[in-house]
């Protein structure tokens, strides 16, 4: 049996999404900017796709949604545009990001730091949630941007973006949130709180890879990302990714339709899978369930290297993760485990299981048996497990 439990890395494309995209490859292939029927054949699809995206996040028409190639691009754009407009010109000198942002924010922030921008890395608490007080404590009239993700990709922890957005508004500071892991998992409504920029990516909600977006509130315009033929309102030149826009639109519509199912049925599946995993001795989770997206579990199995567990699971046909897929080649400890100060022996033992609306009970039953077998095998050959001192571990709920 093959079981895919790595949906925070990417998701299967919804067949309905694929079906809507297909005509835009070999039938309706015109360049939307040309002046003939091949071009105008693409216009209804683009219009409908964009409409569905606006509706999906409840964006007012006067605001902008710019289609990019991925969330990494959207995140880079926000930070670098703010740098060019406010930091380089000397109007402001400071930005804030949480210390557990995706690498597309963290490494961009570090790059800007190298160019002279002051960066505050906001800490997370013992539950893996960003500390709102640190936003209040560090914001000044020289702060140009606060960028805090909505939901963390590793733990699923939901961050208090409403509160942070309110603090930013009070100080007239731009607020960006990376909502990649929020879309399709929790309600996302850009009018329900103060947010200026919001990033998302189609392949995380059963849309195609290579299509991201950035929502930009009116009055908080950014500098153009790509200069050229002035597509996407001049923000991002380049021939439009027509099939991608159609696909993201359909994926957004389907994600909104499935949201209730995700928040009830998938949450229930996740919770009962987690209950069973926690029955295994010496297992730990960081963020309480009710403070997480409904599909995610980050769990440590004491004495078992995450990579060893992944190896065993992979041989059983199960795809899971040790954390961010982008960091999986450099065998570093899971960044959230690091940030909460988990003991070294636990920081390397975290495994992430992330479900989707396609996940079934049968798949989870199979995965559970594979995890149980892997734990017995790997602890059996571990030279350190039997000698690891047990007891309370800072920041982690312990289960026996």
| Residues near ligand PLP (CB under 6 A) | 70-72, 102, 104, 149, 153, 178, 180-181, 201, 212
**Shortest separation between residue 177's beta carbon and ligand PLP, angstroms:** 10
**Shortest separation between residue 353's beta carbon and ligand PLP, angstroms:** 15
**Shortest separation between residue 26's beta carbon and ligand PLP, angstroms:** 26
**Shortest separation between residue 79's beta carbon and ligand PLP, angstroms:** 13
**Shortest separation between residue 166's beta carbon and ligand PLP, angstroms:** 22
Q: Which is nearer to ligand PLP, 72 or 349 (CB)?
A: 72
Q: Rounded to whole angstroms, what are the CA distances from 141 to 177, 197, 220? A: 20, 20, 17
For the chain, what is the HEC assignment?
CCEECECCCCCCCCHHHHHHHCHHHHCCCCCCCCCCHHHHCCHHHHHHHHHHHHHHHCCCCCCEEEEECCHHHHHHHHHHHHHHHHHCCCCCCEEEEECCCCHHHHHHHHHHHHCCCEEEEECECCCCCECHHHHHHHCCCCEEEEECCCECCCCCEECCHHHHHHHHHHCCCEEEEECCCCCCCCCCCCCCCCCCEEEEEHHHCCCCCCCEEEEECCCCCCCCCECCCCCHHHCECCCCCHHHHHHHHHHHHHHHHHHHHHHHHHHHHHHHHHHHHHCCCCEEECCCHHHECCCEEEEEECCCCHHHHHHHHHHCCEECECCCHHHCCCCCCCHHHHHCCCCHHHHCCEEEEECCCCCCHHHHHHHHHHHHHHHHHHHHCCCCHHHCCCCCCCCCEEEC
Q: Which is nearer to ligand PLP, 105 or 374 (CB)?
A: 105
**Shortest separation between residue 352's beta carbon and ligand PLP, angstroms:** 11
Q: Which is nearer to ligand PLP, 178 or 282 (CB)?
A: 178
What phi and psi values does residue 292 have, to the nearest 5 degrees? -120, 160
Q: Which is nearer to ligand PLP, 205 or 284 (CB)?
A: 205
Q: Which is nearer to ligand PLP, 92 or 102 (CB)?
A: 102
Task: Answer for the pair 9, 325: CB distance below 8 angstroms, yes or no.
Answer: yes
Q: Which is nearer to ligand PLP, 79 or 149 (CB)?
A: 149
Catalytic one among 70, 117, 168, 326? 326
Q: Which is nearer to ligand PLP, 71 or 280 (CB)?
A: 71
**Shortest separation between residue 201's beta carbon and ligand PLP, angstroms:** 3
**Is 326 designated active site?**
yes
Active site residues: 326
């Amino acid at each position: 049996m093959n079981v895919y439990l790595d949906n925070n890395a990417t998701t299967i494309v919804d067949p309905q999404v694929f079906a809507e995209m297909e005509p835009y490859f070999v039938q309706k292939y015109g360049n939307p900017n040309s002046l003939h029927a091949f071009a105008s054949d693409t216009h209804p699809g683009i219009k409908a796709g964009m409409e569905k995206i606006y509706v999906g996040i409840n964006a007012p028409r006067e605001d902008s949604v710019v289609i990019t190639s991925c969330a990494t691009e959207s995140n880079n754009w926000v930070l670098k545009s703010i740098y060019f407009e406010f930091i380089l010109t000397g109007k402001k000198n400071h930005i804030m990001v949480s210390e557990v942002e995706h690498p597309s924010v963290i490494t961009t922030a570090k790059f800007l730091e190298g160019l002279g921008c002051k960066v505050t890395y906001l800490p997370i608490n013992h539950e893996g949630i960003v500390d709102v007080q640190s936003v209040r404590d560090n914001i000044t009239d020289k702060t140009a941007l606060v960028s805090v993700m909505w939901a963390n990709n590793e733990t699923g922890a939901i961050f208090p973006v409403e509160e942070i957005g309110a603090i930013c508004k009070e100080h007239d500071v731009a607020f960006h949130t990376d909502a990649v892991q929020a879309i399709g998992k929790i309600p996302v409504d850009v009018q329900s709180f103060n947010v200026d920029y919001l990033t998302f990516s189609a392949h995380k909600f059963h849309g195609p890879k290579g299509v991201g977006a950035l929502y930009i509130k009116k009055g908080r315009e950014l500098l153009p990302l790509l200069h050229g033929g002035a597509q996407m309102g001049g923000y991002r030149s380049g021939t439009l990714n027509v099939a991608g826009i159609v696909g993201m639109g359909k994926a957004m519509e389907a994600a909104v339709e499935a949201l209730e199912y995700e928040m009830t049925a998938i949450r229930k599946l996740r919770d009962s899978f987690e209950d069973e995993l926690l029955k295994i001795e010496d297992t730990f989770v960081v963020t309480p369930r009710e403070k997480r997206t409904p599909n995610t579990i980050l769990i440590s199995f004491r004495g078992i290297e995450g990579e060893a567990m992944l190896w065993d699971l992979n041989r059983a046909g199960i795809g899971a993760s040790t954390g961010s897929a982008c960091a999986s080649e450099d065998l570093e400890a899971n960044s959230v485990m690091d940030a909460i100060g988990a003991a070294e022996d636990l920081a390397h033992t975290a495994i992430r299981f992330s479900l989707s609306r396609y996940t079934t009970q049968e798949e989870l039953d199979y995965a559970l048996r594979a995890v149980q077998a892997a734990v017995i095998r790997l602890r059996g050959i571990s030279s350190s497990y039997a000698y690891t001192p047990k007891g309370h571990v800072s920041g982690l709920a312990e289960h026996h």
